[in-house]
Chains A and B, each alone.
Chain A
Amino acid sequence: MFKRLPEAEGAAVAVTIDGEPFNAREGDSVAAALLAAGRTYCRETPISGAKRAPYCMMGVCFDCLVTVDGVGNRQGCLVRVQDGMCIETQHSKRALGELGS
């Protein structure tokens, strides 16, 4: 759980997280937006299905992998939010376009 400091200013950036609208802030990474939105996890691993959340926030751990605008396995901590961005949590292996079952 994270909360925004009252002094922290910044323009709102409207995104959706699993279809729900959320106002992130300019400068947020996708992973930061997920945490600010109170999301407890961002993916389920392809191996055991365990839930994972952002861990290192600096591009190292690959635990913040999410689907951004339809592209799977993006590192949420390295992608900045943009207006209209569609962020989706991932379940198991990355889906492959139309062929992904």
Chain B
Amino acid sequence: MNAVPLPKSQYDSVIVGAGPAGLAAAAIAGKAGLSTLVLDENAQAGGQIFRAITSTPVKRRDVLGDDYWRGERLVAEAQANGATIVHGATVWSLDRDLQFAVSVLGQSQALRARRVILATGALERPFPIPGWTLPGVMTVGAAQTLLKSSGLVPDGKVVLAGTGPLLWLFAAQVLRAGGAIDTILDTTPRGNYWRALPHALPFALSPFRAKGLALMREVKRKVSVVSNVVSLSALGADTVNEVAFTRAGGAERRIAVDTLLLHQGVAPNVNLAMAAGAAHHWDDRQLCWKPVVDPDGNTTVKGIAIAGDGAGIGGAIAAVERGRIAALAAVEALAPAQMSQLPDRSGVLQALQRAERGRAFLDVLFQPAPQFRRPEGETIVCRCEEVTAAQISETIKLGVEGPNQLKAFLRCGMGPCQGRNCGLTVTEMIAQARGVSPEAVGYYRLRPPVKPVALKELAAMTQTEEAVNAVVRG
């Protein structure tokens, strides 16, 4: 057997995810002298927002912008404070006893933590439109990853469609890098501006307002922007070559496209937390599942906290502060004497409040329209199992009350992505059909492995005599 990739099997604190929340938590836990392990699925620290921060080939700092380069300091702080960061580590199981199973370099092993901080971040919300599975259609986040990690920008005729801050940020980054974008199809529903108005004041006082407006101005100077887009389809046989859209009250228009990039916000990545048994509830403003957490980020499972966007979307700056708060709580529980040398909790809380100012406005303004969350007809909902909206609607009529019965009937959510690309859609479709809230509908019951893992790795986990007796009969 090869050398075990992880040096120990027991840590004071295990942090999952090396994005803003995980790195900030690791710096504090490490500084307090807790034995700290960060498990990260990617090849390098940074998570999505600071992806490739230590290696990006995009050296002109203005391209990715100041907010991106903040990540350098976070990585440096985490490393300087003695946390062990293991990359290419896929956590596939976590249970109520804080026992992990993690796969590194093709080997799985068990780990135990005294405290767990999940900093698994966010996923891009599903954007189920006709043709969204065609080659040539990607998420905006995917294209941004290609830019940050590989210095690749979309070429040919490029259309961005959807809503949310990331769309505008990425457009600006491409333009600064010397790339071109033909058209932005803005799907932000017009009514959202009115609905967001009650939340406008804190937003107006936050730094996000000026930044956001400047970004949109920068993009609009060079890109044709079509607002109030209410329907969207990607067309093509084996690859996308046209995008069809309509504006409210208008006729359908088509434009040629080589790359269509979709984005309509992000949602917490809940799979590991749910599989660990943490309770979640439906958030009507962010339209997603959120873990039930206390102000320190503690979930309903003792010893497991969640920090960052995984506990509800707050953005990178808030994620850093929430990572710090969760780590301070861990230190207070395990090594209270060390608290004096750490940042004061009340100061961190104030920073968090500043970072969260204006969030409600953004949440409401960028709520995706119902028709982009609950598709109809032949639009694919479950990309893995190729289940369409029509099949789902038809099957709900049999008396399906929730996603688990639907999954049993249609296999939606059974593929390798384990519902990450269809779960929100399925819950909202059932809720709509039944006339109840998504909360009443519920979500897929998730269990380990939360990511696919090779049989031989599962087979190599500890076998007990009891387990043998439970299986071997002859």
A50: Cβ under 8 A from any B Cβ: yes
Query: Are A53 and B417 in contact, CB atoms less than 8 angstroms apart?
Result: no
Query: Are B150 and A55 in contact, CB atoms less than 8 angstroms apart?
Result: no
A19: Cβ under 8 A from any B Cβ: no
B residues in contact with A22, CB < 8 Å: none
Q: Which of B2-52 contact A (CB under 8 A)?
A: 41-43, 48, 52
A63 to B58, CA, bound (A): 26
Q: Which of A9, A35, A78 meets B146, CB within 8 Å?
A: A35
Q: Which of A10, A52, A55 meets B139, CB within 8 Å?
A: A55
A82 to B415, CA, bound (A): 28
A59 to B91, CA, bound (A): 13
Query: Are B146 and A57 in contact, CB atoms less than 8 angstroms apart?
Result: yes
B residues in contact with A27, CB < 8 Å: 52, 55, 57, 149-150
Q: Which of A4, A52, A53 meets B150, CB within 8 Å?
A: A4
A60: Cβ under 8 A from any B Cβ: yes
Q: Which of B60, B139, B141, B152 meets A7, CB within 8 Å?
A: B60
B315: Cβ under 8 A from any A Cβ: no
A80 to B452, CA, bound (A): 18
Query: Are A2 and B239 in contact, CB atoms less than 8 angstroms apart?
Result: no
> Interface range on chain A: under 10, 10 to 19, 20 to 34, or 35 or more?
35 or more
A29: Cβ under 8 A from any B Cβ: yes
Query: Are A50 and B133 in contact, CB atoms less than 8 angstroms apart?
Result: yes
Query: Are B417 and A61 in contact, CB atoms less than 8 angstroms apart?
Result: yes
Closest to A2 in B: B152
Q: Which of A1, A6, A58, A65 meets B259, CB within 8 Å?
A: A1
Q: Which of A4, A47, A59 meets B152, CB within 8 Å?
A: A4
A51: Cβ under 8 A from any B Cβ: yes
> Interface range on chain B: under 10, 10 to 19, 20 to 34, or 35 or more?
35 or more
A61 to B418, CA, bound (A): 9
Q: Which of A50, A55, A73 meets B137, CB within 8 Å?
A: A55
A45: Cβ under 8 A from any B Cβ: yes
A residues in contact with B451, CB < 8 Å: 59
A7 to B59, CA, bound (A): 8
A3 to B155, CA, bound (A): 6
Q: Which of B57, B238, B415 meets A5, CB within 8 Å?
A: B57
A50 to B234, CA, bound (A): 15
B residues in contact with A57, CB < 8 Å: 138-139, 141-143, 145-146
A residues in contact with B143, CB < 8 Å: 57
Q: Which of A2, A10, A60 meets B420, CB within 8 Å?
A: A60
B residues in contact with A35, CB < 8 Å: 146, 152
Query: Are A63 and B383 in contact, CB atoms less than 8 angstroms apart?
Result: yes
Query: Are A62 and B58 in contact, CB atoms less than 8 angstroms apart?
Result: no
B residues in contact with A9, CB < 8 Å: 57, 59
Q: Which of A19-64 contact B (CB under 8 A)?
A: 25, 27-29, 32, 35-36, 40-41, 45, 47-48, 50-63
A residues in contact with B145, CB < 8 Å: 57-58, 77
B residues in contact with A2, CB < 8 Å: 146, 152-155, 259
CB distance from A27 to the nearest CB of B (A): 5
CB distance from B87 to the nearest CB of A (A): 10
A78 to B178, CA, bound (A): 27
A19 to B123, CA, bound (A): 34
B416: Cβ under 8 A from any A Cβ: yes
Contact with B along A67-101 (1 / 0, CB 8 A): 00000010001101000000000000000000000
A25 to B143, CA, bound (A): 17
Q: Which of A29, A32, A56, A65 meets B124, CB within 8 Å?
A: A56
Query: Are A60 and B417 in contact, CB atoms less than 8 angstroms apart?
Result: yes
A7 to B133, CA, bound (A): 32
Assuming A25-B57, A40-B238, is B416 touching A62 (CB within 8 A)?
yes
Closest to A55 in B: B138
Assuming A61-B383, A62-B417, is B141 touching A56 (CB within 8 A)?
yes
A residues in contact with B156, CB < 8 Å: 1
Query: Are B258 and A1 in contact, CB atoms less than 8 angstroms apart?
Result: yes
B296: Cβ under 8 A from any A Cβ: no
B386: Cβ under 8 A from any A Cβ: yes
Interface centre among B57, B59, B143 (most CB of A within 10 A): B57
Query: Are B58 and A7 in contact, CB atoms less than 8 angstroms apart?
Result: yes
Q: Which of A8, A58, A63 meets B57, CB within 8 Å?
A: A8
Which 9 A-B pairs have CB atoms at the shortest separation, nearest pair first?
A8-B151, A53-B135, A57-B142, A8-B57, A57-B145, A62-B416, A3-B155, A2-B152, A1-B155
Query: Can you sample 21 A-B contacts with CB below 8 Å?
Result: A1-B156, A5-B58, A9-B57, A25-B57, A25-B150, A27-B150, A29-B150, A41-B239, A45-B386, A47-B386, A50-B386, A51-B239, A52-B133, A53-B138, A55-B142, A57-B138, A58-B145, A60-B269, A60-B420, A62-B384, A80-B43
A-side residues, CB < 8 A to B, are 1-10, 25, 27-29, 32, 35-36, 40-41, 45, 47-48, 50-63, 65, 73, 77-78, 80
Additional A-B contacts beyond A5-B152, A55-B139 (16; CB < 8 A)? A2-B154, A7-B59, A8-B151, A32-B146, A32-B150, A36-B150, A47-B386, A50-B386, A52-B135, A54-B142, A57-B143, A58-B123, A58-B142, A61-B417, A61-B421, A80-B43
